[in-house]
Amino acid sequence: MSEIESSPDGAKGAVNRRRILWAAGLGAGLAGVGAGRVRAAEPDPNIVPVPEWSKTLGAGVNANPYGKPSPFEKDVVRREVTWLTASSESSVSFTPLYALDGPITPNGLCFVRHHGGEAVIPPDKYRLMIHGMVDKPLVFTLEDVKRMPGRVNRAYFLECAANSGMEWRGAQLNGCQFTHGMIHNVYYTGVPLRSFLEAAGVKPKGKWVLAEGADAAGMTRSIPLEKAMDDCLVAFGMNGEALRPEQGYPVRLVVPGWEGNMWVKWLRRIKVGDEPWGQREETSKYTDLLANGEARRHTFVMDAKSVVTNPSPQAPLLHKGPNVLSGIAWSGRGTIKRVDVSLDGGRNWTTARIEGPATPMAMTRFYLDFDWNGQELMVQSRAMDDTGYVQPTKAALRKIRGVNSIYHNNGIQTWLVRGNGETENVEVG
């Protein structure tokens, strides 16, 4: 920031080159780790005259009937880790968390996990079947789904159970896009699954439902009837518009707070049964192998977790003085009540400022305004939810779970910020 002398209309004032200023007002309002002042940027005479882009007529209002991001943001994209899986049809592309802010994930950047690639379903051909242990098997068209009473709008995080899974044995991937980018948070529009089950009439023996997708993998997961009747949604909208193709267009299942793998996309049928089906995705996958060789199964809920997205390896610190630390926290068991941040690897903690909506099973944004003098930092965040649960250290997690697991790694992440601002993924203690 620089001081200038302004002319009568301010648009042609000459830049004051006498000195680079330390702005007074900025220190005030600084919270968190000590107050500071923004270091002045080099005064730039080019801003004082009317800039070039003010002198030429720009593109019209309908240049893009469906808008796109600025070309200057072209690197803010989902990224695949090609060595991670054998084929792109059964792989993941990660959300660029380091470049995002606020509580919502834009639809174009929501992480994608496919098991048989993207199913393309003409909406007029879509059908949803409710069958199994029901009084009356039913088939719904998409228009039927949209005519169901009780439509709701809810913001929920969707996290893949394997998010951070590659970090079990130690710091590996250098960027929160890859260590934590298997998560997004959008507003879903849909109808409670309960309404469909009540329409078909669940028989007394019915205790579980099987959700199956219409993709080439025939993705299937068993869900306890209690959860299905509680808060699951048959969703057709995300962030105001139709579901995106890679998110299950035209209809997906929403299973708030539970493993993303259970949020079946391109939802084709819901079958009611009296026990879990033991499908591939709940036996050979999405179970947690412990040190003693036993495996935990049906670990559905995603526990409280958080990560600092700025600074992070893809978003280093660029300036000394005031900086804004930003991050996200979420819990599958309830509402984020508090997030603490440490800049020294967990020795000292400061409570961050939760900013924007903090609702159950939704991503919550936090900030810490801090002053950086160029010292080395070990940045961590620790989430707490309204059940009293506190996000554990990776060491505490490994002590109980060993290092064979892939899923449910919600350990505290550490970023090392070097004196030059460069940031990397490290382990502490």
For the segment 156-185, give every residue that binds a copy of itself (CB under 8 A).
none
Per-residue mark of binding to a copy of itself, 236-275 (x: CB under 8 A): -x-xxxxxxxx--xx---------------x-xx-x----
The residue (of 149 and 204) whose beta carbon lies closer to a copy of itself is: 149
- 239: alpha, beta or left? (left if phi > 0; alpha if psi -120 to 50): left
Task: Write the binding mask 189 to 218 for a copy of itself: x where contact by CB under 8 A, - elsewhere.
Answer: x-----x--xxxx----------x-xxx-x
Q: How many residues bind a copy of itself (CB under 8 A)?
A: 145
Q: Evaluate whether 56 touches 50 at the Cβ level (below 8 Å).
A: no
Under rule CB under 8 A, which residues in 59-98 are in contact with a copy of itself?
Answer: 59-70, 72-73, 76-80, 87-89, 91-93
CA–chain centroid gap for 261, Å, is 14
- For residues 2-17, one letter each, b for 16 or more C-beta atoms within 10 angstroms of the residue's C-beta and e for the rest, the string is bebeeeeeeeeeebee
Closer CB to a copy of itself, residue 41 or residue 403? 41
- Identified binder of a copy of itself from the candidate list 114, 180, 252, 337, rule CB under 8 A: 114
The amino acid sitting at 15 is V
Each residue 131-150 as x (binds a copy of itself by CB under 8 A) or -, in order, gives: xx---xxxxxx-xx-xxxxx
Of all helices (H) and strands (E), which one includes residue 197?
A: helix 193-200
Q: Which two tokens stand for residue 281?
A: 């995705």
Using CA atoms, how far apart are residues 93 and 81, in angstroms rounded to an integer? Answer: 7
CA distance 92 to 76: 16
DSSP 86-111: S-GGG-EEE--GGG--SS---GGG--
2 binds a copy of itself (CB under 8 A): yes
Q: Report, in angstroms and rounded to the nearest whole number, the Rg of the chain calculated over CA atoms.
A: 25
- Cα distance between residue 159 and residue 173, in whole Å: 18
Choose the binding region for a copy of itself from 114-122, 225-233, 381-389, 421-429 (rule: CB under 8 A): 114-122
Shortest Cβ 280–a copy of itself spacing (Å): 15
Give residues with Cβ within 8 angstroms of 10, minimum separation 6.
Answer: none
Site for a copy of itself in 370-429 (CB under 8 A): none
Looking at beta carbons only, is 297 or 319 nearer to a copy of itself?
Answer: 319
**Window 321 to 340, contacts with a copy of itself (CB under 8 A):** 321-324, 326
Report the residue number, 141 or 174, with the smaller CB distance to a copy of itself. Answer: 141
Q: What's the Cα-to-Cα distance from 212 to each of 41, 165, 186, 247, rounded to whole Å?
A: 56, 25, 22, 14
Among 33, 119, 183, 412, binds a copy of itself (CB under 8 A): 119
- Minimum distance from CB of 405 to a copy of itself (Å)? 23
Binding segment toward a copy of itself, per CB under 8 A, in 45-53, 293-301, 336-344, 405-413: 45-53
